[in-house]
């Protein structure tokens, strides 16, 4: 069974790539929708020809931007789904249901056409004061783990204690910026870039995520991404 | 324009329908998914243009016992007898031994359906016998519609164009369930057993292939079926003579289009004359100034294929109008073609048919064909509202179809999804349509 994953960006692709080991027998294909605004049009164009023709399993990975609510995000995806079904002449009045045991994943299941879609909404910030909840927050959360940061420092040949790296990234550098009149850092991506610079990674957030995920053990990975794993399980 | 087809037991299709047909229709899907069957069904439907009167004596005097009908034209646009041509495609070159049709005294055709019943376990035939009688000629006019003995081998179906009423025995149960009214559609009945889905016989009508087409039909004399058989055959003399006499500057137009497809032919002229070695039919000869003409069949297969297609299509495009719309059925354009040539060939075909009342059906296994047509859609060379791709799927005899519009096609191809295969396969090559370079903010 193939799970089609619709993501806002490339970082999610890296996350799915790492998590797929927990789902043997499933194939994953991730689409970078290049922002949340295109997710609906992507599900309409990609899923439309499949609906009613073969089993469809789809996962939408959404961030929660400032001012957005879970209800509004679900409503937006629901509108996209209704668009597909109307276009394909399929009548159904199904609603999203919360995935059992997870408060930020919701499933839409239409057994009559063998179509199940789950939406996962990141609802955790890695640091207080951030305006959005994004996939980068989940990656950053991992990167702040003592074992992970020590691994990364060693890998990058940065001869500094992991705790000090975290302190520099989360407190000292942001404070220095603020003291010099720079606006406060507001997104996890900003901290990811700082982290990458401090550890001499010279890379983009998706590649940073790939490196962090590769240096994380399975147990921690399952803990950190428990809600995404539950979302995928809801598609089985 | 045909907009919808409902099918009961045609070839490998036990039942199914296809909706939303457009001016340009691309049929894709795995092998044995019904693509060619659909082309053949369209061909048989569209060439049903010979007037007749359908008579079922067992229903008379009810009005459903005598209905205006059509049956196969003696020759299609290219000069081939339609049914015989399809039989030959399937390796049936001889006479139909158990043909249940005979010539009546009134020069009609009587068909004994009860003679089809060989298997005692099979259900009864839907009715024992019917006749197709020629319409009476006007006083003093020649009786051009009277059937000849030779017609018996050419005729295995009839159509009833939007009949006012039909006896219940002539309506497949699935059609009745879907609520089709007789007057909504053209109804087709085909009795040659090799063309009828042969398993799961339950209902008397299961002994026949029955289908309906919805929407307006093309002029039966302007239906062009182009396949590899056509590509490797000479043009018929009747077609070549007709085209030469009817289409202004036919040779020049062929040469012009061929030069668009094969730039090396830019300085060449083209003539269509007798095939060499006293063979039947006509063929093309390419002549460069000061040189002896070279038969098109001396060229590679790609050029031969393109020439025969273009020779027909130029003539078709020049002779259709709103009252005589045409239809092109084109099987696998990719055959023999280099990708660059294929792109130019598709471009020429689209240019020739674009502003003409010609409905086009193309089957393909080629991702390149899909990608070329998608690019034409993206650039509005093909009108998006008049074009759809259909992925066909045939499972347990049930035909399903899923349509792809411009947005679906572009989105799938740009993501490396393959509309031809929905299952997960380990293909050694991946094809991606790239129209523009996207700025990726996440990588900045």
Which domains are delineated in chain B?
2-19+31-219 (no CATH), 222-319+321-356 (3.40.50.300)
CA torsion angle B363 B366 B369 B375 (round to 10): 120
Number of domains in chain A: 2
- Residue A168, pLDDT > 60, answer yes
Beta-carbon separation of A48 and B393 below 8 A: no
Q: Does residue A211 sit in the same domain as residue A229?
A: no
Q: Is the bond into B61 cis (omega within 30 degrees of 0)?
A: yes
How far apart, in Å, are the Cα atoms of A80 and each of B208, B284, B389? 44, 54, 22
Q: Among partner residues A10, A45, A49, which is closest to B403 by beta-carbon distance?
A: A49
Query: Among partner residues B422, B424, B438, which is closest to A50 by beta-carbon distance?
Result: B422
Domain around A40: 2-124+225-233
The DSSP code for B123 is: P
In which residue are the tokens 């957030």 written? Answer: A205
> What confidence tens digit (pLDDT) does each residue in B297-315 have?
889 899 999 999 999 999 9
B219: helix, coil or strand?
Answer: coil
Please state, in angstroms and as integers, the Cα–Cα distance from residue B100 to each residue in B36, B51, B60, B86, B116, following that order: 27, 21, 22, 19, 7
User: What average pLDDT does chain B have?
Assistant: 91
What pLDDT is attached to residue B439?
47
| pLDDT over threshold 60, residue B442 | no
| Same structural domain, A217 and A229 | no
Asked if residue B222 has pLDDT above 50, the reply is yes
pLDDT exceeds 60 at position B33: yes
Residues from chain B contacting residue A44 (CB–CB below 8 Å): 407
Cβ separation of B442 and A205 shorter than 8 Å?
Answer: yes
**What is the pLDDT confidence band of residue B444, given thresholds at 50, 70 and 90?**
very low
Flag whether residue A37 sits within 8 Å of chain B, measured between CB atoms: no
Size of interface A-B (CB pairs under 8 A): 49
Q: What is the per-residue pLDDT for B435?
A: 57
**CA dist B235 → B279, B309, B312 (Å):** 11, 10, 9
User: Which of A47-51, A177-181, B100-104, B440-444 shows the lowest per-residue confidence on average (mean pLDDT)?
Assistant: B440-444
Interchain pair B408, A48: CB under 8 A: yes
Q: pLDDT tens-digit profile of B8-18?
A: 999 999 999 99
Mean pLDDT for A79-90 is 89
Q: Do A156 and A184 sit in the same domain of this protein?
A: yes
Looking at the fold, whether A117 and A229 belong to one and the same domain comes out as: yes
Query: What's chain B's length in residues?
Result: 444
User: Is the CB of residue B390 less than 8 Å away from at least one CB of chain A?
Assistant: no
What is residue B416's predicted lDDT score, i.e. its pLDDT?
85
Within B157-201, strands assigned E span 157-161, 186-190
Q: pLDDT over 70 for what percent of chain B?
A: 95
pLDDT at residue number B431: 67
pLDDT at A207: 93
Give the per-residue pLDDT at B121: 67
Is B53's pLDDT higher than 60?
A: yes
Q: Looking at the structure, tell me whether residues A214 and A229 fall in a common domain.
A: no
Dihedral, CA atoms, A44, A49, A50, A54, nearest 10 degrees?
160
Residue B140: its pLDDT value, please?
75
CATH number, domain with residue A104? 3.40.50
Q: What is the pLDDT of residue B432?
A: 66
Q: Let me know if residue A85 belongs to a domain.
A: yes
Question: Are residues A19 and A117 located together in one domain of the fold?
Answer: yes
A130 within a domain of the structure (yes/no): no
Under an 8 A CB cutoff, do B410 and A44 touch? no
| pLDDT at residue B443 in the model | 45
* pLDDT at B440 > cutoff 60: no
Same domain, A30 and A118: yes
Interface test with B, best of A10, A42, A49 (most B CBs within 10 A): A49
On whether both A31 and A115 belong to a single domain, the answer is yes
Under DSSP, the state recorded for B100 is -
Give A10's contacts in chain B (Cβ within 8 Å): 440, 442-443
Q: Does B323 score more than 90 pLDDT?
A: yes
Say if residue A89 is in the same domain as residue A150: no
**Residues A101 and A174 reside in one and the same domain:** no
Nearest CA in chain B to A34: B440
Whether the CB-CB separation of B44 and B188 falls below 8 Å is answered with yes
- In degrees, rounded to 5, the angle at the alpha carbon of residue A164 between the alpha carbons of residues A163 and A170 is 90
A150, A58: one domain: no
DSSP letter string over B60-71?
TTSGGGEEEEEE
Query: Quick one: closest CA in A to B406, which residue?
Result: A45
What's the mean per-residue pLDDT of chain A?
92
The C-alpha angle with vertex B436 and arms to B434 and B442, in degrees rounded to 5, equals 100
The percentage of chain A sitting over the pLDDT mark of 90, rounded to a whole number, equals 71
Spacing of C-alpha A200 from chain mean position: 24
Out of A10, A34, A54, whose CB is closest to B422?
A: A54
Residue A26 lies in a domain: yes
A129 located within any domain: no
Place of tokens 């674009």: B354
Residue B204 confidence (pLDDT) = 85
In a domain, A142, yes or no: yes
pLDDT of A96 > 70? The answer is yes
**Whether the predicted interface score ipTM is above 0.95:** no
Average pLDDT over residues A155-182: 92
A108 part of a folded domain: yes
Which of B391, B400, B411 lies closest to A45 in CB terms?
A: B411
> Which member of B400, B408, B442 has the closest CB to residue A53?
B400
Give A213's contacts (C-beta < 8 A, 6+ positions apart): A14, A15, A17, A18, A139, A142, A221
B438/A34 touch (CB, cutoff 8 Å), yes or no? yes
Identify whether A45 is part of a domain: yes
Provide, as residue numbers in chain B, all residues whose Cβ is less than 8 Å from the Cβ of A27: 424
Token output for B270: 């083209």
Q: Please state, for a pLDDT cut of 70, what percent of chain A lies above it.
A: 100
| Cβ atoms < 10 Å from Cβ of B165 | 12
A102 and A20 part of one domain: yes
Residue A120 belongs to a domain: yes
**Measured between beta carbons, which residues in chain A are less than 8 angstroms from residue B424?**
2, 27
Q: What is the CA radius of gyration of chain B?
A: 23
Q: What is the pLDDT of residue B120?
A: 62
Whether B411 sits inside 8 A of A46 (CB atoms) is yes
Contact B189/A at CB under 8 A: no
C-beta atoms of B424 and A27 within 8 A? yes
Closest Cβ–Cβ partner in B400, B412, B441 for A46 = B412
**Section B386-395 average pLDDT:** 95
Contact at CB, A31 and B422, closer than 8 angstroms: no
């Amino acid at each position: 069974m193939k799970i089609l994953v619709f993501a806002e960006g490339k970082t999610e692709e890296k996350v799915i790539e790492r998590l797929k080991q927990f789902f043997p027998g499933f194939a994953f294909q991730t689409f970078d929708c290049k922002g949340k605004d295109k997710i609906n049009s992507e599900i309409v164009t990609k899923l439309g020809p499949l609906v009613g023709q073969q089993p469809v399993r789809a996962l939408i990975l959404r961030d929660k931007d400032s001012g957005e609510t879970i209800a509004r995000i679900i409503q937006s995806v629901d509108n996209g789904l209704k668009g597909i079904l109307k276009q394909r002449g399929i009548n159904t009045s199904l609603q999203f249901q919360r995935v059992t045991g997870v408060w930020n994943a919701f499933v839409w299941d239409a057994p009559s056409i063998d179509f199940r879609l789950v939406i996962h909404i990141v609802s955790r910030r890695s640091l207080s004061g951030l305006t959005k909840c994004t996939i980068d927050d989940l990656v950053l959360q991992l990167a702040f783990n003592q074992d992970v940061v020590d691994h990364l420092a060693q890998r990058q040949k940065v001869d500094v204690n992991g705790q000090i790296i975290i302190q520099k990234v989360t407190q000292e550098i942001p404070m220095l910026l603020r003291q010099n009149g720079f606006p406060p850092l507001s997104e996890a991506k900003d901290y990811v870039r700082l982290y990458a610079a401090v550890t001499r990674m010279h890379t983009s957030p998706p590649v940073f995520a790939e490196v962090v995920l590769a240096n994380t053990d399975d147990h921690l990975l399952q803990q950190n991404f428990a809600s995404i794993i539950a979302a995928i399980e809801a598609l089985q | 324009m045909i907009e919808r087809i409902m099918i009961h037991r045609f070839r490998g299709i036990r039942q199914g329908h296809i909706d939303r047909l457009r001016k340009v229709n691309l049929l894709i899907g795995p092998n044995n998914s019904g693509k060619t069957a659909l082309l053949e069904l369209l061909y048989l439907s569209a060439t049903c243009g010979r007037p007749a009167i359908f008579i079922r004596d067992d229903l008379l005097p009810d009005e459903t016992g005598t209905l205006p009908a059509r049956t196969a034209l003696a020759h299609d646009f290219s000069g081939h007898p339609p049914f015989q041509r399809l039989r030959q495609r399937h390796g049936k070159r001889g006479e139909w031994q158990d043909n249940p049709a005979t010539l009546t005294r009134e020069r009609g055709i009587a068909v004994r359906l009860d003679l089809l019943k060989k298997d005692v376990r099979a259900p009864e035939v839907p009715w024992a016998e019917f006749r197709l009688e020629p319409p009476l000629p006007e006083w003093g006019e020649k009786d051009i519609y009277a059937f000849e003995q030779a017609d018996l081998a050419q005729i295995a179906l009839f159509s009833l164009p939007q009949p006012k009423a039909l006896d219940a025995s002539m309506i497949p149960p699935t059609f009745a369930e879907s609520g089709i009214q007789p007057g909504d559609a053209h109804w087709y009945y085909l009795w040659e057993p090799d063309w009828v889905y042969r398993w799961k016989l339950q209902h008397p009508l299961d002994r026949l292939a029955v289908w309906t087409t919805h929407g307006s039909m093309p002029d039966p004399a302007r239906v062009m079926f182009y396949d590899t058989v056509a590509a490797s055959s000479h043009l018929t003399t009747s077609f070549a003579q007709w085209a030469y006499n009817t289409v202004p500057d036919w040779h020049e137009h062929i040469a012009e289009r061929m030069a668009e497809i094969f730039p090396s032919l830019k300085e060449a002229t083209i003539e269509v004359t007798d095939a060499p070695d006293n063979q039947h039919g006509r063929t093309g000869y390419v002549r460069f100034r000061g040189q002896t003409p070279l038969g098109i069949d001396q060229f590679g297969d790609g050029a031969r294929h393109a020439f025969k297609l273009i020779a027909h299509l130029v003539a078709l495009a020049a002779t259709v109008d709103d009252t005589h719309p045409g239809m092109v059925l084109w099987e696998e354009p990719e055959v023999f073609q280099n990708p660059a040539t294929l792109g130019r060939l598709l471009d020429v075909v689209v240019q020739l048919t674009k502003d003409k009342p010609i409905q086009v059906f193309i089957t393909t296994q080629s991702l390149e064909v899909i990608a070329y047509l998608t690019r034409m859609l993206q650039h509005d060379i093909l009108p998006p509202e008049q074009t759809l791709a259909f992925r066909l799927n045939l499972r347990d005899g049930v035909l399903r179809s899923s349509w792809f519009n411009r947005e679906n096609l572009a989105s799938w191809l740009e993501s490396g999804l393959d509309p031809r295969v929905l299952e997960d396969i380990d293909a050694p090559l991946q094809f991606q349509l790239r129209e523009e370079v996207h700025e990726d903010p996440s990588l900045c």
